[in-house]
Structure 1
Amino acid sequence: MNEMEKPTRVVVIPSPGFSHVASILEFAKRIVKLPNGIHVTLLIPTIANNGSPSEASKAILQSLPSTINYTFLPPIHDQELPQEAPIALTAQIAVSRSVPSIRHALMSLTSTSRLVAIVADLFGIDALILAKEMNLLSFVYCPSTAMTLSFCFFLPKLDDTVIGEFKEISEPVRIPGCVPVPGRDLPNPVQDRNSELYRNFLQRCKQLRFADGILVNSFREIEPGPIRELTEEGRGYPMVYPVGPIIQNGSGNETKFDQCLTWLDNHVPNSVIYVCFGSGGTLSQDQLNELAMGLELSGKKFLWVIRAPSESANASYLSGNNNNGGDPLRFLPSGFLDRTKKQGLVVPLWAPQAQILNHHAIGGFLTHCGWNSVLEGVMNGVPLIAWPLFAEQKMSAIFLSEDLKVALRVKANENGLVEREEVACVIRRLMEDEEYREIRRRMQSLKNVATESLQEEGSQNKILAQFAVHLMKN
């Protein structure tokens, strides 16, 4: 095959973790639809003894168009990873350890394709060394907010100017272009500056400036401040492409979960609160009990996607919806299912979230503030209850509740527990009070501009076209 016959190909490298794989895959689907005839190969790092891919992951991968193919890289074994390391650090190191396998895969692809670029997940930035090595363009895909990206660029300066822990700063941190954030609500990786996690995160933030471009899953209408800051000439940033909103339109296995939609069909509009902590969020047993009793106490209809409890808030992150704790329903308070059988529906592990949020019966969404979930809420105009668990979710909760004003945030007690009375109170506020109408109005406005951005002449296609031009110059 001569060079003219070879398809133009972009190699995409996610980090382990269903939410990161899902988001970057949806991005890949967008770029293969561009008129440039771009193909995509997904090289997926894996971790041994981490369970097989979840049903949702398999369904997404099996539904890919012919212009996207994927390969699971040889697994990284436990002895190659630090023991009891935070999941974010584990994911990053797994990608770093996979660089030899990625190099081998790239060399194989050169015989059949004209490689032009590598797009790596934010946790997979170490793989971009191969782009320089092979004279390819290098891009970072940020599946989170533009606010998070702005913070990443700002962190080295913050590190140089602040003494002590950020959570002890008396004044909120002013991230360029963003609403001020209390130090305690900055992302989890920066909460202990003496940790290896912090040092790795800081190094990753410094590496961002060496990429040829950064793709962020956001759009100007939802984050005008940080996007203006990131795209303004003279700031010294790489080219930033706000390619959002990128969300899943369904994973292909929704028919297994018709019970959710059938149950919702029997309820009046805006009457049900949907409760889900994403593909990896978990609650402690005490917190699960308080949430259950709070839902019951609220008196409101609910649809709750439940996972077995854990003391780690992101225990299921790397394994997606695989459940190592047995049937999660057995962890519910005694008699809860019987007492609430006319009030709510509890679904183990997974539910068709995109379809649920689009259902007329849904009046609110209690979410961990993962950006994929938030965007799905926005695209369906559903008011939010913000219950952040890990990563940058506390920062996102500040953005949603204090900047956009489309969410109410739960308040924890001095021990970090959100008590049942608080759960019931915030649900009633969202579903009954005057502020609900204001939140719904603001969320509907966001839905409208987000929908417009996805139209043929919308901002997403224009930004993706600019990205494609950048690609084809290589």
Structure 2
Amino acid sequence: MKKAELIFVPQTSKGHLIPILEFAKRLVDHDDWISITVAFVKSPSDSFTDAYIESVKTSKLDRFEFIDVSQQEEHHSLVVDHHSQSIKYHVDALMETHMPLLKDFVTEISSSRSDLDTFTGLVFDLLFVPLVDIAHQFNIPSYIFLTANAGFLSLLFHLTTQHDDTWNSPDFKRSYPDELSSGFINPVPFNVLPSALFDKDNGYPWFMMTAQKFKAVKGIMVNTFEELEPYAISGFSDRGSPPVYPVGPVLDINCKPYTELDLAQCKKVMKWLDEQPRSSVIFLCFGSFGHFLAPQVKEIALGLEQSGYRFLWSLRVQSLSPRQPSRNDGSGCVHYIEDMLPEGFMERIQGKGIMIHGWAPQVKILAHEAIGGFVSHCGWNSILESLWFGVPVVTWPMYAEQQLNAFKMVKELGLAIELRLDYEELNVSNVVTANEIKKAVKQVMDDGSEVRKKAKEMAEIARKAIVNGGSSFLSIQRFIEDMIGEN
């Protein structure tokens, strides 16, 4: 077999970089003839990217090459605040700073790589799909690695079929009935679709552009597995879409802290968990961009306390007050969060629960036998991690496609307890009450619950999917064969 080189172009936030590079590692494990070049733009203050890339280099040194395309640029022009409290700001900043650099790089490398015996193609992150056009200019095969699930991909393809009807009507904004979208067994309510989809000037055009670029590639790798989303995956073959390869779950289950502060936090948390009984702790974590206003923080605290269960709560806050610090990892913020809690709460929970401010070692926590349930923002990586360890989920989606993920987990798969499906972050009038939280926690922590049983069963299936002969293992093999056949 001839050698094959793939150039990966990832986004460098944790939720995108880890799965796409873990997939790249699996590719080189599958085939001795594959090598990987990773082209990325690193922000100067981003210590995580450096540390994670070094760990990949160490494990696969002779098969990976990394190119930081920002090295020749002015330092100040590439600053992207990865701790930004706005997902929209984060994406806009990435597009403004990263895309021109990556466009130049892809153009240069595509025009210089004439030897297609070794240069097999480009693999793009979801956020960088406009680069597909450049690959086409030079007749270079392009692929997409999707960190979301097959249901989200089916929504993208659905958009292209509805553009001239429902989506282009005068009463565009949230005025159409629930739709039966291919890829979903149940009609999909509008209020679980990404809110940006209803921004006709900005969000909707981005979704349409993305869907069209997805249709134009040679293949799409999706971080899911056939047994988890059989209905969605089986539907792709009927649409004339590019080949879809379910290759997940793609996780870094050995994920480690990357700073001294994170390491100290991790040790503290794991020591406390070691002292707790098996399946006795409810874990709450809401991702890098999941923040709460003061009224919601109080309700969560009351709900946890009233549930009677031990808890581990990772909290980021958003305030309308100028007292709000710019980051959530300083001691001043700790005192401010305590001001938001019910009076006497910290004293009453002594020994029953702990709170983390900022980063949490989520993978290590979910892997711990003391964890019995997970209240989650329903980011797809977090859902896959919970399923891998057989931890049942309570749905509290915040932004992006998380509401759709929550709908899939509750209504389509029966793998989660519904707290909310359509929660909107930082909506002052949309407060989840302490009673709702208490009820959901009690449901998910019930040893005899059906959801707990199904989560444990799916954990076994997920682990079988990626080993030799499993569905995702064979899907990766099929991708390699198809990719080399294209060249």
TM category, shorter: 0.7 to 0.9
TM-superposed deviation, 1:360: 1.1
Q: Distance in 2 between matches of 1:276 and 1:54?
A: 22
The 3 A distance-change label for structure 1 pair 186 and 451 is: same
* SS of residue paired to 1:39: strand
CA–CA distance in 1 between the matches of 2:459 and 2:195?
29
Identity %: 29
Deviation at 1:166, TM superposition (A): 5.2
Deviations 1:186-214 (A, max 9, x none): 11220222x21221221111221110111
Whether 1:427 aligns to 2:428 is no
User: Which of 11, 15, 18 is the aligned partner of 1:19?
Assistant: 15
Q: Secondary structure, in 3 states, of the residue corresponding to 1:63?
A: helix
Match of 1:392 in 2: 401
SS at match of 2:164: helix
User: How far apart are the structure 2 equivalents of 1:352 and 1:108?
Assistant: 42
1:463 aligns with 2:475: yes
**Hey, what's the Cα distance between the residues in 1 that align with 2:157 and 2:231?**
15
Write the distance in 1 (CA, Å) between the matches of 2:162 and 2:308.
46
Match of 1:73 among 69, 76, 87: 69
- My pick for the range that moved more, 269-278 or 59-68, is 59-68
Q: Does 1:61 align with 2:53?
A: yes
Deviations 1:100-155 (A, max 9, x none): 13434566777999321100011110112232233321001111110000000001
* One-letter amino acid of the counterpart of residue 410, structure 2: S
Alignment of 1:85-234 (within 5 A): 86-98=89-101, 99-104=103-108, 114-162=118-166, 163=169, 164-165=171-172, 167-169=174-176, 171-178=177-184, 179-193=186-200, 195-230=201-236, 232=237, 234=238
Residue 405, structure 1, aligned to residue 414, structure 2: yes
Q: Which amino acid aligns with 2:126?
A: L
Letter paired with 1:197: G
Alpha-carbon distance between aligned partners in 1 of 2:35 and 2:128, rounded to the nearest angstrom: 20
8 Å Cα contact 2:145-2:222 kept in structure 1? yes
The reply on whether 1:278 has 2:272 as its aligned counterpart is no
CA contact (8 A) 1:95 1:127 kept: no
Partners of 1:406 and 1:112 lie apart in 2 by 45
- Note the C-alpha offset of 1:85: 5.5
Partner residue in 1 for 2:465: 453
Cα distance in 2 for partners of 1:289, 1:107 equals: 57
CA shift for structure 1 position 324: 6.0
Please say if residues 274 and 365 of structure 1, whose CA atoms lie closer than 8 Å, have aligned partners that are also in contact: yes
Q: Which moved more, 1:139-148 or 1:98-107?
A: 98-107
1:382 Cα deviation from its structure 2 partner: 0.6
Structure 1 counterpart of 2:28: 32
Q: Structure 2 regions of 5+ residues with no counterpart?
A: 81-85, 321-325
Q: Distance in 2 between matches of 1:84 and 1:469?
A: 37
Deviation at 1:295, TM superposition (A): 2.0
The separation in 2 between residues aligned to 1:107 and 1:206, in whole angstroms, is 24
> 2:120·2:483 contact (CA, 8 Å) conserved in 1?
yes
Distance across 2 between alignment mates of 1:284 and 1:73: 38
Q: 1:22–1:248: 8 Å Cα contact kept in structure 2?
A: yes
- Is 1:360 aligned with 2:360? no
CA pair 346-460 structure 1, distance change in 2 beyond 3 A: same
Q: Which of 239, 242, 246 matches 1:242?
A: 246
Q: Shift of the alpha carbon at 1:17?
A: 2.8
Paired residues of 1:13 and 1:121 also in contact (CA < 8 A): yes
User: Taking structure 1 as the reference length, what is the TM-score of the superposition?
Assistant: 0.86
CA distance in 1, matches of 2:447, 2:365: 23
Q: 1:91 to 1:205 in 2, by over 3 A?
A: farther
TM-score, normalised relative to structure 2: 0.84
Paired residues in the alignment total 447
Question: Residue 262 of structure 1: which of 252, 266, 271 is its match?
Answer: 271
Once the 2 structures are TM-superposed, how far is the Cα of residue 255 of structure 1 from its aligned partner? 5.4
Kept in 2: contact 1:89–1:200 (CA 8 A): no
In the alignment, which residue of structure 1 is the partner of 2:334? 329
Q: Would the aligned equivalents of 1:60 and 1:251 in 2 still touch at CA under 8 Å? A: no
Letter of the aligned partner of 1:380 in structure 2?
A: F
Distance 1:286 1:38 in 2: 53
RMSD over equivalenced CA pairs, Å: 2.9
Distance 1:142 1:84 in 2: 18
**What is the Cα deviation at residue 42 of structure 1?**
1.5
- Paired residues of 1:186 and 1:394 also in contact (CA < 8 A): yes
Is contact 1:367-1:384 (8 Å) kept? Answer: yes
The structural deviation recorded for 1:292 is 2.7
* AA matched with 2:195: N
Task: Return the alpha-carbon distance in structure 2 between the equivalents of residues 11 and 278 of structure 1.
Answer: 29
Shift of the alpha carbon at 1:471?
Answer: 2.4
For residue 16 of structure 2, give the secondary structure of its aligned residue in structure 1.
helix
Q: Deviations over 1:199-253 (max 9, x none)?
A: 12211112211101111111110001110001x2x52101111111111212233
User: Does the CA-based 8 Å contact 1:357-1:377 persist in structure 2?
Assistant: yes
- Equivalence for 2:323: none
SS at match of 2:174: helix
Q: How far apart, CA to CA, are the structure 1 residues paired with 2:319 and 2:119?
A: 43
Q: Equivalents in 1 of 2:220, 2:50: separation in Å?
A: 27
Kindly state the Cα deviation for residue 22 of structure 1 after the two structures are TM-superposed: 1.6
Give yes or no for contact 1:20–1:143 (8 Å, CA) kept in 2. Answer: yes
C-alpha separation in 1, matches of 2:297 and 2:444: 21
Distance 1:91 1:79 in 2: 9
What letter corresponds to residue 96 of structure 1 in structure 2?
M
1:10 aligns with 2:10: no
TM-aligned CA distance change 1:279 to 1:26, over 3 Å: farther
> Matched residues in 1 for 2:50 and 2:79: separation?
27
